[in-house]
Amino acid sequence: MPGDTIKEELVQQVQCVIAARLRHASGENVAESLVHAGLVDVRTGGKGEAQQRLRELQEEAQAAGRGKHGPDAASHVRDVKWTLRDGEDPRTFADRFGKKPVPAVVEHVRDGSTVRVLLLPDFHYITLMLSGIRCPSSRPGEPESQYSEEAKYFTESRLLQRDVEVVLEGATNQNFVGTVLHPNGNIAEHLLRAGFARCVDWSLASVTGGADRLRAAEKEAKEKRLRLWKDYTPTGIPIDAKEQRFEGKVVEVINADALVVKVGDNELRKIFLSSIRPPRRPEEPKEAAPGGGGKERNFRPLYDIPFMYEAREFLRKKLIGKQVQVCIDYKQPASNSFPEKTCCTVTIGGINVAEALVGKGLATVVRYRQDDDQRSAHYNDLLAAEMKAQKSARGLHSKKDASVHRVVDLAGHPRYDRFFSRNTTTSELEIVSSVCISSIVFVTATAILLTHLTHDFFAGELCGLSRCAVTVYVILEGYRSVYRELLGKLIPKLWVELCFVVAVSRRPAFCQQLLMVLALTFHHGPVSISAA
């Protein structure tokens, strides 16, 4: 239609005028420089002195063979790879660079934290989300969308068409996650400090150079109530700075995330490791028959939850009886039937105990809401340790079935309570021995031991039993039913004599030898004996 033709001519004229008059800050005419270098063509049909000047420059470039008018123009055609070739997995592509900086040009800014970059020198065109942060989206109805355009302009004005370096740190779907390094620093840090972005935990652990600076930048914006944080109010129970740090001796390991620390002479404090979750009970199969109360009644978390025992033992061996440094991170308010919990970072010899536990795959990191500040001061380190444990398939992250601990817990058993009453010397007894299912080895060890006994071991009274004697007697009595058939056929007399010797003996040397043989013999699963 005639009206459409007039509009097209007006658009062309406006484009020509803009192209002819666009100048650099130094006064250079950008359009003339491009034509003179042979990098662009002049539109046909234009009129005026400016257009004539451009045509003259183009003829000069053609005569000199510059740029696209030269004989080697074909060698300057870029082979832009708009998608990954041969269906390559994005994570595999990112891992090829080994988290090393890659030269790139920012071609497009989708929002404040997402850009399109051209990787050099292979011309891979990818979408990159900035690691560790997220800017508001411009989608209708999206909360905080009022700052989306400002955040986008903030990134555009600093990165668009700039030479930068990109560190690819991961991938999600077809988008890559990484860090954009500008000569003036990390753009993500500047966005956070200006209040245009929030930290996001799922990608924060992979940030090159650590995430502490990003957390610090976000904290600065929160304190200044900038943009996204204009209505920010701190959460949680205030902690007195004088009481935040203390030292003490670990006197009890309750489970995989709870300790009792002795401070001073008499004060005992129960604390919890910040931001970690101990191993959980596996989900029961849906087809399990109802009314399985027997199994529930005999459920023992320490032994029946996979890796709970290993986690508790890791803490016990590392901490029990040792001086530790404690820093209170937050206090979890009481709720329903749960009392208030004091959550802390515990260090020994400069090692963060929670981080070591997570790194072994014996605990997982708690995920929080973005507006929840109640977390470990070393939360990023915990996330990084968990990521390493997942990659190496350690502990809870292993695909193998967890080992089952076959334990006979004699504490509180009516048959053996008399051995742990306060009238005996076993009131503080707590011994973990190993038990073997090999009857032949047991009988052999017992026979060898009895051949070295003298009759004076049988002298004494059935009172004042030593801890070792009681322990051995209880172990033997507990497993008597297992070996009854074999012992009844082979050496019933030796069995009776051994039980009698253990009961009446008050010789520590003998008991120590006997325990050593049993410990070497019974090595299949733990037996826990705790005092009343």
pLDDT tens-place string over residues 200-242? 888 887 887 778 889 889 989 998 999 999 888 877 777 777 8
Contacts of 379 (CB under 8 A, 6+ apart): 201, 275, 365
Q: What's the mean pLDDT in 140-156?
A: 85
Cα–Cα distance list, 302 to 280, 420, 530 (Å)? 11, 22, 14
- C-alpha 18/C-alpha 172 separation (Å) is 41
Q: What's the mean pLDDT in 422-448?
A: 40
Burial (Cβ within 10 Å: 0-12, 13-18, ≥19) of residue 316: middle
Preceding amide of 121 cis, omega within 30: yes
Fold that domain 85-229 belongs to in CATH: OB fold (Dihydrolipoamide Acetyltransferase, E2P) (2.40.50)
Task: Give the count of beta carbons closer than 10 Å to the beta carbon of residue 426.
Answer: 23
- C-alpha 176/C-alpha 163 separation (Å) is 19
Q: Point out the least confidently predicted range of 31-35, 213-217, 420-424.
A: 420-424
- Residue 86 gets the label, from left (phi > 0), alpha (psi -120 to 50) or beta, of left
**What mean pLDDT value characterizes the chain?**
75
Q: What's the mean pLDDT in 80-94?
A: 83
User: Which residue would you say has higher pLDDT here, 54 or 88?
Assistant: 54
- C-alpha 319/C-alpha 255 separation (Å) is 12
- Specify the domain boundaries for CATH 2.40.50.90 within the chain: 85-229, 241-282+300-397
- C-alpha 157/C-alpha 137 separation (Å) is 18
| CB distance 313 to 360 below 8 Å | no
Instruction: Please say if the pLDDT value at position 9 is more than 60.
Output: no
- Residue 132 gets the label, from left (phi > 0), alpha (psi -120 to 50) or beta, of left
User: Which residue would you say has higher pLDDT here, 414 or 212?
Assistant: 212
Amino acid, single-letter form, for residue 221: A
pLDDT at 75: 79
Q: Which CATH number fits domain 241-282+300-397: 2.30.30.90, 1.10.10.10, 3.30.60.50, 2.40.50.90?
A: 2.40.50.90
- C-alpha 229/C-alpha 30 separation (Å) is 42
Contacts of 356 (CB under 8 A, 6+ apart): 314, 318, 385
Q: Give φ, ψ of 181 to 5 degrees.
A: -105, 115
User: Which residue would you say has higher pLDDT here, 484 or 529?
Assistant: 484
pLDDT at 249: 94
pLDDT at 282: 73
Amino acid, single-letter form, for residue 110: R
Q: Which DSSP string do the residues of 464-496 spell out, in sequence order? A: S--HHHHHHHHHHHHTHHHHHHHHHHS-HHHHH
- C-alpha 196/C-alpha 206 separation (Å) is 21
- C-alpha 194/C-alpha 200 separation (Å) is 16
In the block, which residue shows the tokens 């204009």? Answer: 230
pLDDT at 208: 79
| CB distance 166 to 101 below 8 Å | yes
Cα–Cα distance list, 286 to 16, 241, 283 (Å)? 72, 49, 9
Predicted confidence band at 492 (pLDDT cuts at 50, 70, 90)?
very low
pTM for the complete prediction? 0.60
pLDDT at 439: 42
Residue 461 tokens read as 């009274």
| CB distance 470 to 430 below 8 Å | no
